[in-house]
Amino acid sequence: MGKMQAAEAMVKILEDEGVEVIFGIPGAGILPFYSALRKSDKIKHYLARHEEGASHSADGYARSTGKVGICVGTSGPAGTNMVTGLYAAQVDSIPIIAITGQAVTAQLGKEAFQAVEISKIVEPVTKMSCCVTEADHLPRITREAFRIAREGRPGPVLIDLPLDIQRCEIEYDIGTDSSLDIVKPAPDKQKIRKAVEMILEAEKPLMLLGGGIISANACDEFVALAEYLSVPVVTSLMGKGGIAADHPLYAGQVGTSCNTIFGNKVFLDSDLVLGIGCRFSDRHTGALDVYTKDRRFIHIDVEPTQIGRIIPADLGIVADAKLALEALMDTTKELTPSRAPAEWVTAIPEQRTQYRRRLDFDQVPIKPQRIFKEINEFFDEDTFFVTCIGLNQIWSSQFQRVFRPRRYLIPGGAGPLGWDLPAAIGAKIAHPQKTVVNIVGDYGMGFCGEEMAMAVMYEVPVIVIVINNGYLSLIRQQEKYVYDMNYEVNTWYGDIMIDFVKFAEAYGAYGQRVELPEEIKPALQRALDENRPSIVEVIVDRETDASMGASLDKIVEYEPLPELVSMDTL
């Protein structure tokens, strides 16, 4: 044992837990931690320009790797600025740890400068939050933070550090300390057997791949079970990429806005759904009477409170997704040989193509769909795509083809504008040899756009595609069809708009503007060749709407349907 400051002990634990990257902003309330951090030769710090940006970068890093992301800020506003990032991580089950400074313990509760009870503020959006008031407890609390962030349903944790606690000398020896064990709940064997029997009895069973499958690194096991049973697969928005877009069993994506036509059709044709690692959120299910009618549900999730919370489960199983899938496969092999696909299953690849929405528009101003045609054709299957809320997100989810897990990063539950750029930076830092593309709307780019400075400062060559239609376009569409108005959604002021080329150049990045369809691919190539942070601004048709509806059987298609497809066939 040896004496050291508590902050130094915390940094040693971060190193031991495998932390290599921290996103943060130093301030007076957290300087003892930074003093310890500067001595580390294992952790690289990235200076964010806003604490919300730091939290989203930690989130993007975590989503793209499965590791715990770390963000750090000072006392007071730094923590409140992180609340949105913690909320986004909490609802999407992303493991991040936020570390905040705090006034000295003697000033707690006395409204000292930049002293706020951040641990209480973030309680609803974290798995654990605490203000450390005993320095000797900090090593144990830090280890527990990593365990809680990782175990069960992953999620965010906040540790608040008063100044005197950070500076306090404690006895600590990293050689006698280690990570806490992670418990993974195994499934009930009888329930697993019942689940397999239900699948084998069903005429048109379906497997729903949720984001929890990606979090559990269980995509291979999921696809292997689907292949053995010859059961079609659909994904939720958070599950996108968990099965390759061209897999013969992949029917598509289910949802009221983030959907594919064929994904919704196959779901509505099913009589049993095996959903694993999914929350059955409202933008996935739409009207519950339509979603549940004439079909049974098997729901498997690591979090007990998720079972039956929204969809009454005919069979609920609490278990780690990978352990559940392994058990399902073992039991399936006991009960049946590998099954040949039914005729309706073998038809999936052809029908998936037949029901694909049209992307090949040639008009000017550019139709947004055309951008995604070019994206699908230009970038390889190992590219990481990052997007956020807005019609840009809905178009992306509907049109983009994704082939691998953790290659499609999106804040599905919280949907905070501005999440995507810092998250893309976090993903690129985690995967420096991979291409990372951020797809954003012109309004969303105004949120956390300051993090372009972080990308330029540390030479993080993310490619940002700004779909510029001069609108808060998702809200414009809702106003148009629900409220018959167009009020306070125009982001262009007269003939003037934000010049994103100059915006990029002001930060030291590379900027281009595209106004013709045939210019899109050359612009993407130039951005790739520059190998530095870049913005490709694409001016698009202002009034194009995205397909959506209130229920899975009533999705409004604003563009002509593909040839041979009519509403009667849906």
pLDDT of residue 568: 52
Q: Break the chain into its structural domains and give their ranges.
A: 2-176, 189-353, 357-539
Please tell me the distance from the alpha carbon of residue 480 to that of residue 495, in angstroms, as a whole number. Answer: 23
Asked if the model's pLDDT at residue 1 lies above 70, the reply is no
Does this chain's domain 2-176 share its CATH topology with 357-539? yes
Q: What is the pLDDT of residues 323-374, one digit of tens each?
A: 999 999 999 999 999 889 899 999 999 999 999 999 999 999 999 999 999 9
pLDDT above 90 as % of the chain:
93
> What 3-state DSSP class applies to 405?
coil
Q: What is the pLDDT of residues 398-449, one digit of tens each?
A: 999 999 999 999 999 898 999 999 999 999 999 999 999 999 999 999 999 9
Q: Could you list the beta-strand ranges (E) of 163-320.
A: 169-172, 205-209, 233-235, 250-253, 272-276, 296-301, 315-318
Write phi, then psi, for 458 (nearest 5 degrees): -105, 10
Q: Say which range, 111-125, 149-163, 302-316, has the weakest mean pLDDT.
A: 111-125
Please tell me the distance from the alpha carbon of residue 238 to that of residue 251, in angstroms, as a whole number. Answer: 16
Mean pLDDT calculated for residue range 1-16: 93
Domain 2-176, CATH: 3.40.50.970
CA angle 152, 157, 158 (to 5 degrees): 170
Q: What is the pLDDT of residues 49-76, one digit of tens each?
A: 999 999 999 999 999 999 999 999 999 9
Whether domain 357-539 has CATH 3.40.50.970: the reply is yes
Q: How confident is the model at residue 564 (pLDDT cuts 50, 70, 90)?
A: low
Asked if the model's pLDDT at residue 462 lies above 90, the reply is yes
Asked if the model's pLDDT at residue 173 lies above 70, the reply is yes
Q: How confident is the model at residue 565 (pLDDT cuts 50, 70, 90)?
A: low
pLDDT of residue 495: 82
Q: Which two tokens stand for residue 454?
A: 């972080």
Domain 189-353, CATH: 3.40.50.1220
DSSP-derived letter for residue 206 is E
Mean pLDDT calculated for residue range 285-311: 96
